[in-house]
């Protein structure tokens, strides 16, 4: 699974070919020199198109950042849901959340780096309302899964807004360390340790 595949999945078809090209080059530029240092002209030069074409598809640099960010969230959410679909107990659900998270980061490191560096820009920029809406929908699906009878009693003692941080917190912290080369082994190699730590952090047993 490569970054280009993610773009293909999110923007399929021949009519989206230029859009995919712009996004691929933008992702590379953002990760190489940073979002602030990248401008539309930099991206235009890399994908050999016109500034007008970029504005036509995305409206602004912020639009490109948001399009990439939302594509990543959607891809990550799809993998999460495929894991959750196979989980039946509360513990299996926690394991699914951690395993899907570290698998996505391990297989999509360029995208994960971009997500970490762009989250503040999207959450505080012109697309913040769309991000809130998308996150609410994603969290609603997760809370519905966690709230099913036979599972919800495992989580009822924990504030709902705290739950995702307790489950994903350690995996997120290690993933950031790996992406910045502070540690060598990929997060997926420690997925069972991380999942066990997540379960113990919320289990009352």
Q: What is the pLDDT of residues 125-179, one digit of tens each?
A: 999 999 999 988 888 878 788 777 667 778 888 888 888 899 999 999 999 999 9
Per the document, the length of the chain is 205
Cα–Cα distance, 139 to 132 (Å, whole number): 10
Digit-coded pLDDT (tens) for 36-88:
999 999 999 988 888 999 999 999 999 999 999 999 999 999 999 999 999 98
CATH architecture type of domain 3-202: Orthogonal Bundle (1.10)
CA-wise closest residue to 141 among 92, 74, 71: 74
């Amino acid at each position: 699974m490569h970054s280009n595949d993610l773009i293909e999945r999110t923007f399929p078809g021949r009519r989206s070919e230029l859009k995919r090209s712009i996004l691929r080059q933008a992702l590379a530029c953002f990760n190489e020199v940073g979002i602030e240092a990248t401008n539309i002209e930099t991206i235009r030069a890399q994908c050999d198109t016109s500034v007008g074409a970029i504005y036509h598809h995305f409206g602004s640099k912020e639009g490109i950042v948001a399009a990439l960010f939302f594509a990543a969230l959607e891809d990550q959410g799809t993998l999460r849901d495929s894991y959750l679909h196979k989980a039946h107990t509360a513990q299996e659900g926690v394991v699914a959340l951690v395993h899907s998270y570290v698998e996505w980061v391990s297989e999509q490191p360029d995208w994960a780096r971009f997500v970490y560096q762009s989250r503040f820009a999207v959450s505080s920029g012109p697309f913040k309302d769309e991000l809130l809406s998308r996150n609410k929908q994603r969290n609603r699906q997760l809370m519905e899964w966690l709230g099913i009878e036979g599972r919800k009693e495992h989580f009822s003692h924990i504030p709902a807004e705290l739950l995702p941080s307790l489950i994903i917190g350690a995996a997120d912290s290690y993933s950031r360390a790996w992406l910045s080369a502070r540690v060598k082994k990929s997060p997926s190699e420690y997925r069972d340790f991380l999942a066990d730590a997540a379960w113990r952090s919320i289990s009352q047993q």
